[in-house]
């Protein structure tokens, strides 16, 4: 019985030993299989460089000569710049690897040796002495920042494995150096190099590179502006690591540590042209350089900004709170100055509104393009006489609409030149009737007025007086076609011309009419009726100019040009408040004049060339026809050669000689019937009867 019992126990032990021999490796194999599965999972969900692309980055702007204009931060108010790995100084690459992860190229996502060393040091010191985070793990923490807990550490390791599965060492390092915290709100080596030293990361020398490589260890405490000594101590550590790893010699390291480094002044944000910077930033492609060189001339920009503020201060008592200005190079279309408001940082005056891009009623500033189109289509001629007389238009369901000029007077028969230069409303509306609102609107679209997007019926004849809404930008771009004789280009915000081409084909006929409009707008005598000969619009050099005032004096405009520059100005209130006794000539014109005088301070611009393919002939100032001895005022006007035969056939019929028997010639004026109401309104209507006697001026004495 006892023997049988022993035999049974023996068999049980043998089965246990056999089972153990058969199954003892399975837990180990299972554990290995589990580890391999976990390690392989990241390759099923890899993170590629395109997945973590930095789409938001700060933009540093300079003027055309490299002078700083300011930096626009990201939406998170971070100064971040992205640069390719190959565009970073090798000194910095070596220094950051030596200081943060010297075995970066020898291990994977984790550095097992560093982990073992860290654990051993922690057990010996009974506290954490050094970390074991690799560059990949640090990048994972930047991508998914979270409190330091065991669970979050596991997530960090998992994210590091996924990064390693989808990205090369170079791609990981590039993403890392572009996200490094570099003190304050500065992120990335490129932003740090430009902020602290004013140079790109590619130009960092050894001393600068090791100083920047020291910051990420404690970016809050090691800020160069607040803890220079602490930063120098950490720089010494980075230099020692470079020497130990064989990147540099001890002599080079000692020289780098002792080198004097000058820091840039603290970032002042936007220095000049804030509205312009935001306007340009909206147009940049997603992948753009960290530094954008613009077309702005900073000294000119700051001068214009100062003049805008002075003009607004001077008009404050007239309920004027804002202004805008634009300066264009006629030869290239480059924007040299762009002022959107008097004070960007004044919310009380709506200073962040951009007056260059804001849509406002343009008043009379569209009239030059109306007259140019009418001349081009031969609906009017340079010597055409337009009737500035009481005119009424029926409006369904309302009283007759009576047009008035700015001076609320009528001037009777006026030449095209006089009507345009004095911005007379009634002649302009009469010309628009001939041209057609639809045709004029099409021409304005060709000139780039994209915001005039309503139907011709919506604008009606009021389009000649500015019934639509346009921007100062659009006005300047359209006026640029005049000194360029119809060669229409877009405006460029960077020195290299990238402006869009306008759908406005050049033609020999248009070159002549554009030159003719320029000649009219630059004629100070032609605008003397409304503005006087010696007005703020008259400059000591050739310049063409046009003013505009919107209804109820809410907007005043002045746009003008020389051979070299086009200047457009606006004065008004962003909230639409009416100004008090301020028109184009008293509001926007003084600002335009100051800018023009400054632009040509050292040298006067050349004169405008005569209109191409046109010839001058004498005409009677009142009738526009070939003068007779009865005409007391003869001026010269341009004609197309093909119109000269017509000119020779038609003599002046407005003046009729009554008597020439004495030294004092006697005339009478015989006007067409459309002037009857105007004649009756004159203080001395008898002057238009047969007893009219003109003593002065004599024939040819004056020329308008």
Q: What is the pLDDT of residues 177-192, one digit of tens each?
A: 999 999 988 999 999 9
What CATH number did the domain enclosing 516 receive?
A: 3.40.710.10
Q: Are 361 and 462 in contact (CB under 8 A)?
A: no
Q: What total of structural domains would you count in the chain?
A: 4
Identify the CATH number of the domain in which residue 155 sits.
1.10.3810.10
Please check whether residue 468 is in contact with residue 355, taking contact to mean a CB–CB distance below 8 angstroms: no
Mean pLDDT of 402-420: 86
Asked if the structure places residue 693 within a domain, the reply is no
CA distance 60 to 49: 24
Whether pLDDT at 681 is above 90: no
What pLDDT is stored for residue 704 in this prediction? 36
Per-residue model confidence as pLDDT tens digits over 463-472: 999 999 999 9
CA dihedral in degrees (245, 251, 254, 259; nearest 10)?
-120
Same-domain pairing of 161 and 100 = yes
Given a cut of 80, whether residue 688 has pLDDT beyond it is no
- Considering the domain architecture, whether residues 348 and 236 belong to the same structural domain is answered as no
Q: pLDDT confidence of 424, banded at 50, 70, 90?
A: very high
Q: Do 362 and 510 belong to one domain? A: yes
Residues 539 and 682 in one domain: no
Residue 687 has what pLDDT? 47
pLDDT at 667: 73
* 84 and 127 part of one domain: yes
Alpha carbons within 13 A on the beta-carbon side of 295: 23
- Whether 700 has a pLDDT exceeding 50, the answer reads no
pLDDT given at position 696: 40
Question: pLDDT band at 49, cuts 50/70/90?
Answer: confident
Per-residue confidence band for 338, with pLDDT thresholds at 50, 70 and 90: very high
Q: Which of 67-76, 207-216, 492-501, 559-568 has the lowest mean pLDDT?
A: 492-501
Average pLDDT over residues 128-137: 72
CA 204, 75, 160: angle at the middle one, nearest 5?
Answer: 65
Which range of residues forms the domain containing residue 373?
307-385+465-599
Which pair of structure tokens corresponds to residue 470? Answer: 């346009």
- Tell me the mean pLDDT in the region 282-303: 90
Mean pLDDT calculated for residue range 338-367: 94
Q: Which position has the higher pLDDT, 98 or 667?
A: 98
pLDDT at 128: 52
pLDDT confidence band for 129 (50 / 70 / 90): very low
Q: What is the pLDDT of residue 268?
A: 64
Mean pLDDT of all residues belonging to the chain: 87
Give the integer Cα–Cα distance in Å for 295 and 196.
25
704 occurs within a structural domain: no
Looking at the structure, tell me whether residues 128 and 34 fall in a common domain. no
pLDDT surpassing 50 at residue 698:
no
Per the structure block, which two tokens stand in for 257? 């540590």
Q: Who wins on pLDDT, 285 or 522?
A: 522
Percent of the chain whose pLDDT exceeds 70? 84
In whole angstroms, give the CA distance from residue 371 to residue 516: 10
Say if residue 541's pLDDT is above 90: yes
Please report whether residue 330 resides in a domain: yes
Structural domain contains residue 419: no
Q: Is the pLDDT of residue 282 over 70?
A: yes
Residue 134 neighbours by CB under 8 Å, 6+ apart: 101, 104, 107, 109, 110, 111, 114, 160
Domain check: are 357 and 333 in the same one? yes
Token duo for residue 266: 């603290």
Give kind and range of the element (H or E) at residue 179. none
**With 90 as the cut, is the pLDDT of residue 57 above it?**
no
At residue 2, the pLDDT reads: 53
Name which of 31-45, 148-162, 525-539 the model is least confident about: 31-45
Question: Among 526-530, 623-627, 678-682, which is the least confidently predicted range?
Answer: 678-682
* Rounded mean pLDDT, 235-239: 95
Question: What are the C-alpha distances in Å from 697 to residues 410, 531, 624, 634?
Answer: 22, 22, 18, 10
pLDDT given at position 8: 65
Judged against a pLDDT cut of 90, whether residue 357 lies above it is answered with: yes
426 in Cβ contact with 405 (< 8 Å): yes
Q: Are strands 79-80 and 186-187 parallel, antiparallel or unpaired?
A: parallel
| 200 & 316 share domain | no
Whether 211 is in a domain gets the answer yes
At 211-223, the pLDDT tens digits run 999 999 999 999 9
Q: What is the pLDDT of residue 361?
A: 95
Q: What percent of the chain has pLDDT over 90?
A: 59
83-109 pLDDT per residue, tens: 899 999 999 999 999 999 888 988 887
When pLDDT is averaged across residues 517-541 and rounded to a whole number, the result is 93
Q: Are both 480 and 494 inside the same structural domain?
A: yes
CB 277 within 8 A of CB 295: no
| Higher per-residue pLDDT: 480 or 504 | 480
pLDDT tops 50 at residue 691:
no
One domain for residues 624 and 671 = yes
Within-domain flag for 659: yes
The answer to whether the predicted template modeling score (pTM) of the entire model surpasses 0.85 is: no
Position 402 in a domain: no
Q: Are residues 640 and 660 in the same domain?
A: yes
Torsion of CA 551, 556, 557, 558, to 10 degrees: 130
Tell whether the model's pLDDT for residue 452 goes beyond 70: yes
Least confident of 16-30, 249-263, 592-606: 16-30
**Domain co-membership, 375 together with 348:** yes
> Does 532 reside within a domain?
yes
Mean pLDDT comparison of 96-100, 112-116, 156-160, highest-scoring range: 96-100
Q: How confident is the model at residue 695 (pLDDT cuts 50, 70, 90)?
A: very low
The region of weakest confidence among 160-164, 212-216, 328-332, 580-584 is 580-584
Helix, strand, coil shares of the chain, percent, nearest 5, are 45, 15, 45
What is the CB neighbour count within 10 angstroms for residue 261? 15
Distance CA 353, CA 356 (A): 9
Residue predicted with more confidence, 377 or 147: 377
CB 96 within 8 A of CB 327: no
Please report, in angstroms and rounded to a whole number, the separation of the first and last CA atoms in the chain. 148
Residue 337 in this model has a pLDDT that exceeds 60:
yes
């Amino acid at each position: 019985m006892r023997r049988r019992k022993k035999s049974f126990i023996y068999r049980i032990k043998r089965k246990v030993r056999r089972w153990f021999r058969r199954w003892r490796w399975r837990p180990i194999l299972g554990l290995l299989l589990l580890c391999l599965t976990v390690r392989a999972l990241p390759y099923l969900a890899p993170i590629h460089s395109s997945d973590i692309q930095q789409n938001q980055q700060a933009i540093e702007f300079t003027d055309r000569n490299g002078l700083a204009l300011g930096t626009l931060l990201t939406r998170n108010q971070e100064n971040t710049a992205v640069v390719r790995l190959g565009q970073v100084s090798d000194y910095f690459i070596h220094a950051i690897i030596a200081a943060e992860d010297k075995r970066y190229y020898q291990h994977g996502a984790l550095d097992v040796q560093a982990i073992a060393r860290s654990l051993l040091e922690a057990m010996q010191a009974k506290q954490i002495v050094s970390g074991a985070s690799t560059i990949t793990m640090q990048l994972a923490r930047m991508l998914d920042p979270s409190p330091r807990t065991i669970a979050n550490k596991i997530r960090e390791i998992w994210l590091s494995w996924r990064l390693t599965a989808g990205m090369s060492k170079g791609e990981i390092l590039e993403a890392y150096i572009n996200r490094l915290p570099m003190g304050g709100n500065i992120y990335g080596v490129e932003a740090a190099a430009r902020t602290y030293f004013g140079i790109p990361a590619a130009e960092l020398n050894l001393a600068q590179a090791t100083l920047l490589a020291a910051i990420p260890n404690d970016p809050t405490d090691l800020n160069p502006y607040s803890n220079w000594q602490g930063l120098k101590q950490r720089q010494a550590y980075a230099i020692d690591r470079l020497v130990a790893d064989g990147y540099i010699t001890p002599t080079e390291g000692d020289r780098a540590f002792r080198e004097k480094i000058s820091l840039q002044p603290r970032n002042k944000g936007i220095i000049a042209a804030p509205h312009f910077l935001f306007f340009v930033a909206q147009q940049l492609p997603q992948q753009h350089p960290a530094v954008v060189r613009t077309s702005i001339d900073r000294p000119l920009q700051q001068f214009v900004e100062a003049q805008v503020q002075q003009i607004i201060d001077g008009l404050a008592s007239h309920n004027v709170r804002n202004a805008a200005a634009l300066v264009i190079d006629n030869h290239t279309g480059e924007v040299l100055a762009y002022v959107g408001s008097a004070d960007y940082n004044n919310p009380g005056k709506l200073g962040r509104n951009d007056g260059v891009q804001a849509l406002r009623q343009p008043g009379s500033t569209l009239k030059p393009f109306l007259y140019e189109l009418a001349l081009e289509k031969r609906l009017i001629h340079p010597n055409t006489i337009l009737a500035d007389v009481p005119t009424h238009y029926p409006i369904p369901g309302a009283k007759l609409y009576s047009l008035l000029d700015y001076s609320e007077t009528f001037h009777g028969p006026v030449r095209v030149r006089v009507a345009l230069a004095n911005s007379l409303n009634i002649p302009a509306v009469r010309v628009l009737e001939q041209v057609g609102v639809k045709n004029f609107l099409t021409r304005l679209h060709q000139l780039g007025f994209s915001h005039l997007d309503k139907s011709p019926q919506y604008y009606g004849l009021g389009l000649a007086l500015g019934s639509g809404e346009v921007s100062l930008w659009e006005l300047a771009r359209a006026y640029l076609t005049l000194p360029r004789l119809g060669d229409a280009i877009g405006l460029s915000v960077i020195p290299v011309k990238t402006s869009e081409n306008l759908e406005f084909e050049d033609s020999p006929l248009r070159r002549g009419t554009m030159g003719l409009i320029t000649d009219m707008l630059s004629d100070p005598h032609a605008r003397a009726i409304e503005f006087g000969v010696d007005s703020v619009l008259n400059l000591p050099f050739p310049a063409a100019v046009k003013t505009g005032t919107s209804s109820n004096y809410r907007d005043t405009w002045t746009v003008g040009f020389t051979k070299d520059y086009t200047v457009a100005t606006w004065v008004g209130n962003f909230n639409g408040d009416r100004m008090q006794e301020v028109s184009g000539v008293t509001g926007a014109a003084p600002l335009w004049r100051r800018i023009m005088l400054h632009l040509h301070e050292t040298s006067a611009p050349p004169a405008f060339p005569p209109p191409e393919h046109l010839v001058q002939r004498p005409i009677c100032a009142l009738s526009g026809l070939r003068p007779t001895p009865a005409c007391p005022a003869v001026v010269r006007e341009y004609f197309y050669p093909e119109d000269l035969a017509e000119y020779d056939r038609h003599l002046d019929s407005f003046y009729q000689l009554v008597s020439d028997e004495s030294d004092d010639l006697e005339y009478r004026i015989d006007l067409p019937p459309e002037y009857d109401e105007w004649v009756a309104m004159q203080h001395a209507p008898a002057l238009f009867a047969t007893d009219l006697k003109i003593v002065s001026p004599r024939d040819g004495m004056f020329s308008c």
